[in-house]
Structure formats: C-alpha cells, structure tokens
Amino acid sequence: MTGVPLYRFRPVLPGDLPLLYGWRAQPHWAEWWGAVEDDRGFFEEAMADPHTAAWIVELDGRPIAYAQDYDPHAWPGHHFAHLPPGARGVDQSIGPAELLGRGHGSAFVRQHVERLFAAGAGAIGTDPHPDNARAIRAYAKAGFAVSGGPVETPWGRCLLMEHRRAAAV
C-alpha cells in the first residue's frame, strides 16, 4: 500500500448484515471471532446496544472492514474498566481476505483512534487474542502498547493493549 488512504466510517445498517455474516464465515474471521453459527446475533446486538457503535469501514466506496467501539464501563468487571471515564474499547476485522497483509488494518485503526480521540476519548483499549500476531502488529503500528495479559475474560483469552491521547502541550 502506498500513501495513507482515507477511510470512511459509516454506521452498520440492517442491509449490511448479509455482507457482515459473509465476512464472519471466512476462515480469517472464524479463527479469532469464533464460528458464525455460534453467534448468529452478534452484529444485531452491536447495532442495538446503546453503548456500542458499529461501523462499516469503506475505502473508495467499497466496504472493506467492520469496526466497533464501545464503553468498557458499561459491563461490570470489564478488563478495561480501569481506563478513565469516556474511554472506548475497539474491535475490528478486515472483511475480504485478499486485503489482509496490505497495511489497511493499522491504517484504518489509526484513523478510527484519531476519530475517537477527537470526540473526547482519553484512552482506548483493544484486546486481541495473544496468538493473533497479525492483529497485535497492526495495533502496535496504530499506536497501541501492550498493557497487560494475557488474561482470561468472559469474551475469551486476550492480550490487553492501550492507546492514550497525547497530553496537550
């Protein structure tokens, strides 16, 4: 990938569900998100949850990824509950397998983080599986640093990574 593309984030709509479940059924999703058959209401729940914002990430008008950000303080005992009020947790995955390994992950995550900081978040957490080296590298390139773990959570085993907004000078 040359240059830094500008990604567009638009809310997930009901018409996006076939696309999302198609992505979710692909091996590169199922490996880290589980089998789609085990979690058929995942995207609908994210869309309906007032503490979660679900996004389709587009590049040149083409949907290329799913991203969500959420308030970690909305779940008792969440592993990012130590982050300051207003913090967000993020999860995301590239949709089409042919876009893996091309730099899109770290680039759109960086852009999403900048959007969240601009909206007032002081810190952002993400929690890849400790064996997901591709995701961990992408998050590190996007400014995240390992802050703990691996830990077992109700959502699975994860490595804790955080990104904090730079202090104003």
Domains identified in the chain and CATH numbers = 8-164 (3.40.630.30)
Residue indicated by tokens 């799913």: 66
The predicted structure's pLDDT at residue 107: 92
Q: pLDDT tens digits, residue range 108-134? A: 999 999 999 999 999 999 999 999 998
Instruction: Write the DSSP string, 79-125.
Output: TTTTSPTT-EEEEEEESSGGGTTSSHHHHHHHHHHHHHHHTT-SEEE
Mean pLDDT of the chain: 89
How much is the average pLDDT of 17-46? 81
The predicted structure's pLDDT at residue 31: 81
Distances (CA, A) of 111 to 22, 90, 93, 136: 25, 12, 14, 17
Which band of pLDDT confidence, cut at 50, 70 and 90, is reported for residue 169? very low
The full length of the chain comes to 169
How much is the average pLDDT of 98-112? 90
How much is the average pLDDT of 90-114? 91
The predicted structure's pLDDT at residue 1: 46
Cis peptide before 14 (omega within 30 of 0): no
Q: Is the dihedral of CA 68, 70, 76, 78 positive or negative?
A: positive
Determine the Cα–Cα distance for residues 25 and 28; give it in Å rounded to an integer.
9
